[in-house]
Amino acid sequence: MPTKITLIGAGSVVFAKNLISDILQFPELSDCHLCLMDIDPSRLKVAEVMARKVVAKLRVAAQVSSTLDRTDAIREANYVICTIQVGGYKPGTLIDFDIPKKYGLKQTIADTLGIGGIFRALRTIPKLIDIARDIETVGASGCLFLNYTNPMAMNCMAVDRAVGTPMVGLCHSVQGTSKQLATYAGLNYDEVTYKVAGINHMAFFLEYQYRGRDAYPLLFKLLEDPDFKQDKVRFEMMRRLGYFVTESSEHQAEYTPHFIHHGDDIVEKFEVPIDEYLRRCESIIDTWQQTEAELLGRDGEIKVKPQTHEYGSYIIHSMETGTPRVIYGNVPNTGLIANLPDRCCVELPILVDKSGLQPTHIGALPPQLAAICRTNINPQELAVQAALTLKREHVYHAAMADPHTAATLTLDKIWQMCDELIDAHSKEGYLPEYAPTLSQTGRGFAGTGDKVFAAIRQDPESQGQDALTFILEAANETGHPYEGQISIEIASESTGTKILDTIDVSLENGRKAQYPLDLPSLPRDESYTLCPVDSSGKVAGQPRLNSKRQHMEMPVVENADTLASQGAEIELEFMSVPLATGKAAIHEDKLLLDLRVADTDVETNARQPMDKSSVHFFFSRSDSSQGIEHFYLLPQDGEAPLHGANRLEAPAHRFATKIDKAGYATRGHIDLKSLGINDGEPFLFDFIVSTGALGDAHGACTVGWSGKQTSREESAHYAYIVPKPA
């Protein structure tokens, strides 16, 4: 039975012609079976006519067949060569360029990395996995998958992780660049040797020798030649990294944050061709009829060129005949490059013979080369995760990790751009359905956003009353209706854990509802937790915490001057660091306070009182009959009143403040009588401190007297203040 070689994507007729003529010029392969497959019937017909003309021109005995059925094409194949482009130029490539351009993200080629490479991978990987699974199930034993489709590294990594079929990714950048360098340096290419390793399109010439001697000095000498203006980006990268990279300058410019992002002057200086791939595609389309005529041959003739430098035919010949060769290919990193991630896709020398592919162990790359490779591997791995897990959040993560995208766009723009790209590709049918994420986040919906959120709120109508009443607030944004029972669970030292009330809840997606709770009288002077729960696990219940009130005897002093010596200690801590310290006492009908607040970023013009630096005081009569009074101090040098609701000044309460580099000191009084608190009467008191920064180790925080991170709504950890005469 002849060796069967299948070309998937044979409609890429120019490239297919080169592969076919390369293969058939080996006498040992000249009687093989060439099976052509494409999804475009007209392109496939052209490819079949072309292949038969090549067979006739070379006068070989090869068989040619064609089919639109991928599985039939792969059946009993010994080698499968893939050259597909999912989405084509229109609309796939245009979407990859046009949408990012709206957000200010410029690209050159966009087929390997960057946002264009990521989305090309997302629409290509599912098709490559289907091909690999066909190879596993219907291909001949030992069938080898030879992939030419970009983005090479992401595609090969995904197939390795999803299927694991024998595969090599092939590119012409190594052999092409080795010839370019010989031309630049004026060397006879036949006497050049080299060793290259890294990742596809970012592999580096670790050695470049002429007649056995290091030829790098000749390349670095070109940097000093003012008349040498070739390959500006790659030579700049060689200047900085010390090694020459394998893929073109237009590619390199979008793999790093050092060029396009920095504006038109840099783009012009390094001659970076923005939108270059669009121009190439349009040129190919414009000349397709002429190309087709040349491929099919006028008057029945077709030109067949000598074998090209593409590795595909050489691999097949070596495996069929046992002729040993070294090629450069892309394979999983199984310890081959020590300082790159395990099973990322690496490009390096591979020995090929009857035993198949035998990759070369490189060891560690120079550290700067490994580092820049890893900046490209990170988005590759995340894009592969998105494709294999269908987790939408990893699409955003891949874009975040891409060097050029991250240097150009804010996170909000990255999210918006990815959403628009996903929508555009999905409308064309090129992307699978991803699991949803929480809106504008990098967290998957499942396990987090698929919960009904339930919280216990104080009923506003019970404000200031002796008996507090509560409501259950439930919100459903799960994407599907929710129907079930939500119970209110209490946990305390005196009661243990038990259910106080159970509510029947029925909510459509996107709806919110409130339900009154029938709870027994809850002790105010005991610590307990109320939490909404359900038996299905479909509810995320926000607990309501009640801290046991502090009972504090507040000294009554004869005059304000004795506050420092006779006042009660006031102290707040955050993460074991003193936040506010001071003294408090009662003098006549006033509460005296002397506080020192630690804040190395005092903000005197915060938009909201709790945004940054502020001290908040909360008062109530012990019976709560007049509700809660809330005042806040915004630090500013000098004497000023406190502020109350709606930023209204409360002139009865005055404080003098002094700001310094470490925070501020404030001293003043609260007029208890104006709050309805009579002389000698117990009252409830709480305070909260907000800071911009606490020392050199902690950022902004808002902490209540309970010592916990808190908010205005949670200021219920009152101390029960009992005046104690001196």
What does DSSP say about strands 528-533 and 544-546: parallel, antiparallel, or unpaired?
Answer: antiparallel
CA angle 94, 95, 98 (to 5 degrees): 75
Nearest by Cα to 144 from 352, 356, 313: 356
What are the start-end ranges of the E strands in 265-324?
A: none
Task: Give the span between the Cα atoms of 555 and 396, in whole angstroms.
Answer: 59
CA angle 605, 608, 612 (to 5 degrees): 65
Task: Give the span between the Cα atoms of 131 and 135, in whole angstroms.
Answer: 6
Task: Give the span between the Cα atoms of 173 and 325, in whole angstroms.
Answer: 18
SS3 string, 560-628, reads HHHHHHHCEEEEEEECCEEEEEEEEEEECCEEEEEEEEECCCCCCCCCCCCCCCEEEEEEEECCCCCCC
Distances (CA, A) of 651 to 113, 586, 714: 63, 19, 26
β-strand partners of 671: 590
Residue 273: burial class (beta carbons within 10 Å; 0-12, 13-18, 19+): middle
Find the length of the chain: 726
β-strand partners of 196: 205
Residue 206: burial class (beta carbons within 10 Å; 0-12, 13-18, 19+): middle
Distances (CA, A) of 462 to 169, 466, 657: 70, 8, 36
Nearest by Cα to 346 from 358, 334, 364: 334
Contact 544, 456 (CB under 8 A): yes
Distances (CA, A) of 701 to 115, 643, 675, 688: 37, 21, 29, 10
Nearest by Cα to 404 from 268, 229, 239, 272: 272
CB contact set of 334 (below 8 Å; sequence gap of 6+): 342, 343, 359
Helix, strand, coil percentages for the chain (3-state, nearest 5): 35, 30, 35
Nearest by Cα to 465 from 524, 415, 542, 534: 524
Question: Crossing angle of helices 393-401/367-389, nearest 10°?
Answer: 160
Question: Crossing angle of helices 114-138/367-389, nearest 10°?
Answer: 60
Tokens of 3: 């060796």
Tokens of 566: 């006779």
- Is the sign of the CA dihedral 211, 213, 214, 215 positive or negative? negative
Point out the catalytic residue in the list 33, 172, 262, 698.
Answer: 172
How does DSSP classify residue 402? -
Is 172 assigned a catalytic role?
yes
Task: Give the span between the Cα atoms of 356 and 139, in whole angstroms.
Answer: 16
List the catalytic residues. 172
